[in-house]
């Protein structure tokens, strides 16, 4: 428990467990209902490093913690052994979509390892070009050394995945990497005849895959929590890692490895039945459309035994290698479509980079870096790849060797069969153009990570001195009124800057507007606070009044709900400020940038009268 020491001090200084009748929390503070407030040592509480301030008013005893208060609260109620009875946590939490949750975990785990994946993709493209031009022979040591870098990235993908997913899934990164290295080791990876506790293990190749290790690390996260609960603190350092590995490694070899293996076997049998009873044309169309999903599942290499058997018996592969190439080119087409569509320079750079590697037969950078995160490219490839695969299947395209990508096209000549080559080239063009058009038309919604052109907050230049300029983003006023500096707000949680930099505005109208274009990420049930994430990643808290949480939503009307996409200046709430003041509450509307630390600086404007859509802060980018 990360905040156990802090919570122990708080419990002691408010008079012990027996003095706590109830506790809830809002955005920044713990709100205690104490049986006897005289037992609380306010000055001692204020002296705790992690406590910003203590407020003792007629309604509750408040300990201001900061934006991480929810985590402190969760541990506190566990230690107190009372029901989590807060009614001030963010309202309207959407129901979890299991598919989206899984894709989010995969996407978040893949993002940190994009650098080596993109490096490997570009290196593959470079090696293909220089080998065909004869600059370097594929048999030379120079080629093999650089090719080792390319192959190593994908061979050791389980290790990279373990490292990047561990913290997200609650496991130790070092133990996760140790687990991945173990299943990739020579005694396990691809070895036949293994048994564990007299249980026979199937022959499984873990290299180039990530689903087994991702499942294993997910399981390790739960094992970690369990082991830490049962092992005494004095033995944690020695026993915890050992017990985690003793439980997780067998589970990986017995459960998660075979799960991926049988998934691959099922795919092979499925396509074999289709080729036998429906026709190879249908298989080519289906595989060309679905290959990105198959690669994402780590099952891309499971077709190799089938392909090798087909070429050995018939001299050619009637479906799979051709489909893989068509699908790869379709991936490149989809990325080109998004490259042409987006106006976001960072995303344009990413799309342009992965386009080339996909065309040359390495789609992992696109699939792991773009498809899993943005979803819609899958549809574009299904359209373009499906059309190209259908054409190739109907015209009987054959692959005479195991080679794919743009520079694998000579494999379709066979013994002088140039018509087969031209048919394959036509199929590739169909898939590329079809996917590019589909991607351009589909676009990527702002909530998937790329803001629409209309929603981009346009940077402007703020002159710092005569020699340098900083690129800045602007945050607008949420209400017409008098702007004051945050230090003038009569609430330590805000005036101290502990929650982030910002401004306060004393309103002279009753309507509150959004300060940025983005998405509503939090709406408090008491309606006094809203969280907004801007299209450029700026995280904004709009807090209406001081201690107005105690009004429990009275005099407040929220016009949006969590998940809504909004524009800067769009009304988000109405407040009867006269009645709020009459009830005895101060009414500044506070705008806080809660991810202040991600920026070089945040500079509020000077005190003056402001209006909605007028800039009140400049965020200086790093």
Quick one: pLDDT at residue 611? Answer: 92
Quick one: pLDDT at residue 509? Answer: 93
Q: How confident is the model at residue 495 (pLDDT cuts 50, 70, 90)?
A: confident
Active site residue 119: no
Catalytic residue among 20, 26, 166, 479: 26
Quick one: pLDDT at residue 432? Answer: 92
Contact between residue 474 and residue 457 where contact means Cβ atoms under 8 Å apart: yes
Kind of pairing between the strands at 469-476 and 615-620: antiparallel
CATH-assigned architecture of domain 4-80: 2-Layer Sandwich (3.30)
CA atoms within 13 A on the CB side of 121: 29
The torsion of the CA quartet 109, 114, 117, 122, rounded to 10 degrees, works out to 160
pLDDT above 50 (res 249): yes
Quick one: pLDDT at residue 308? Answer: 54
Question: 244-250 long-range CB contacts below 8 Å, 24 or more apart?
Answer: 244/171, 244/172, 244/175, 244/220, 245/175, 245/178, 245/179, 247/223, 248/175, 248/179, 248/216, 248/219, 248/220, 248/223, 249/179, 249/182, 250/196, 250/197
Q: How confident is the model at residue 60 (pLDDT cuts 50, 70, 90)?
A: low
- Please report the DSSP string for 19-41 in residue order: GEEEEEE-SSEEEEEES-GGG--
Domain residue ranges of the chain, discontinuous segments joined by +: 4-80, 97-115+278-450, 460-620
pLDDT above 70 (res 264): no
311 token code pair: 């070429």
* Per-residue DSSP letter, 399: B
Closest C-alpha to 62, from 81, 82, 42, 78: 42
Is the CA virtual torsion 153, 158, 159, 160 positive or negative?
positive
Give tens-digit pLDDT for 355-389: 877 777 676 667 766 665 666 778 888 899 899 98
Q: How confident is the model at residue 51 (pLDDT cuts 50, 70, 90)?
A: confident
CB-CB neighbours of 116 under 10 Å: 17
Give tens-digit pLDDT for 314-352: 677 788 888 888 888 888 888 888 888 877 666 777 777
Q: How confident is the model at residue 470 (pLDDT cuts 50, 70, 90)?
A: low
Mean pLDDT of 15-25: 85
What is the third-level CATH fold of 460-620? Glucose Permease (Domain IIA) (2.70.70)
Contact between residue 39 and residue 24 where contact means Cβ atoms under 8 Å apart: no
Mean pLDDT of 604-615: 88
* Per-residue DSSP letter, 360: T
Q: How confident is the model at residue 263 (pLDDT cuts 50, 70, 90)?
A: low
User: Do the domains spanning 4-80 and 460-620 agree at the CATH topology level?
Assistant: no
Contact between residue 16 and residue 35 where contact means Cβ atoms under 8 Å apart: no
CA atoms within 13 A on the CB side of 193: 1
Give tens-digit pLDDT for 555-584: 999 999 888 889 989 999 999 999 999 888
CA 232 to chain centre: 35
CA 367 to chain centre: 14
Kind of pairing between the strands at 29-34 and 61-64: antiparallel
Quick one: pLDDT at residue 453? Answer: 37
Kind of pairing between the strands at 502-507 and 20-25: unpaired
Give tens-digit pLDDT for 199-239: 999 888 888 777 788 889 999 999 999 998 898 878 888 89
Give tens-digit pLDDT for 128-186: 667 767 788 888 999 899 889 878 887 888 899 899 888 778 899 999 999 999 999 99
């Amino acid at each position: 428990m990360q905040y156990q020491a802090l919570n122990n001090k708080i419990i002691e200084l408010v008079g012990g467990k027996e003095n706590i009748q109830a506790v809830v929390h809002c955005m920044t503070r713990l709100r205690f209902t104490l049986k006897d407030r005289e037992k609380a040592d306010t000055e001692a509480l204020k002296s705790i490093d992690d406590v910003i301030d203590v407020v003792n008013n007629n309604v509750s005893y408040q300990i201001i913690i900061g934006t991480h208060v929810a985590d402190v609260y969760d541990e506190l109620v566990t230690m107190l052994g009372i029901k989590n009875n807060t009614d001030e946590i963010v309202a309207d939490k959407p129901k979890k979509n299991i598919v989206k949750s899984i894709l989010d975990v995969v996407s978040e785990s893949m993002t940190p390892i994009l650098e080596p994946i993109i490096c490997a993709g570009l290196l593959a493209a470079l090696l293909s070009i220089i080998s065909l031009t004869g600059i370097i022979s594929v048999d030379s040591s120079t080629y093999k050394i650089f090719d080792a870098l390319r192959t190593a990235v994908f061979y050791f993908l389980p290790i990279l995945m373990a490292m990047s997913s561990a913290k997200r899934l609650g496991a130790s990164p070092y133990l996760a990497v140790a687990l991945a290295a173990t299943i990739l080791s020579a005694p396990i990876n691809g070895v036949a005849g293994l048994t564990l506790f007299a249980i026979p293990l199937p022959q499984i190749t873990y290299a180039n895959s990530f689903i087994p290790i991702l499942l294993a690390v997910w399981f390790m996260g739960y094992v970690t929590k369990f082991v830490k609960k049962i092992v005494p603190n004095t033995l944690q350092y020695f026993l915890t890692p050992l017990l985690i590995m003793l439980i997780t490694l067998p589970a990986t070899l017995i459960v998660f490895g075979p799960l991926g293996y049988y998934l691959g076997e099922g795919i092979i049998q499925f396509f074999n039945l289709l080729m036998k009873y429906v026709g190879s044309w249908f298989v080519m169309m289906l595989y060309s459309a679905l290959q990105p999903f198959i690669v994402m599942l780590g099952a891309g290499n499971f077709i190799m035994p089938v392909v090798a058997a087909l070429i050995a018996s018939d001299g050619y592969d009637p479906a799979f290698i051709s489909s893989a190439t068509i699908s790869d080119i379709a991936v490149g087409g989809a990325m080109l479509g998004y490259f042409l569509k987006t106006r976001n320079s960072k995303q344009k750079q990413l799309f342009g980079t992965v386009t080339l590697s996909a065309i040359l037969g390495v789609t992992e950078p696109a699939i792991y870096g773009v498809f899993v995160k943005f979803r819609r490219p899958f549809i574009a490839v299904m359209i373009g790849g499906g059309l190209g695969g259908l054409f190739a299947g109907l015209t009987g395209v054959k692959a005479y060797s195991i080679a794919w990508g743009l520079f694998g096209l000579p494999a379709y000549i066979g013994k002088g069969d140039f018509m087969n080559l031209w048919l394959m080239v036509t199929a590739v063009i169909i898939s590329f153009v079809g996917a590019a058009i589909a991607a351009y038309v589909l676009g990527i919604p702002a909530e998937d990570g790329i803001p629409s052109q209309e929603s981009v907050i346009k940077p402007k230049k703020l002159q710092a001195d005569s020699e340098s300029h900083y690129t800045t983003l602007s945050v607008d006023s949420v209400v017409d009124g008098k702007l004051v500096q945050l230090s003038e707000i009569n609430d330590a949680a805000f005036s101290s800057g502990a929650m982030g930099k910002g401004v306060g505005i004393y309103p002279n109208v009753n309507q509150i507007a959004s300060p940025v274009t983005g998405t509503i990420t939090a709406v408090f049930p008491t309606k006094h606070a809203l969280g907004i994430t801007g299209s450029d990643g700026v995280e904004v808290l709009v807090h209406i009044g001081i201690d107005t949480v105690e009004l429990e939503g009275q005099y407040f009307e929220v016009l949006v709900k969590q998940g809504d996409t909004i524009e800067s200046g769009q009304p988000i709430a109405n407040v009867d400020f006269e009645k709020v003041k009459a009830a005895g509450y101060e009414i500044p509307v506070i705008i806080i940038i809660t991810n202040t630390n991600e920026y070089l600086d945040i500079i509020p404007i000077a005190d003056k009268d402001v209006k909605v859509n007028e800039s009140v802060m400049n965020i200086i980018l790093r």
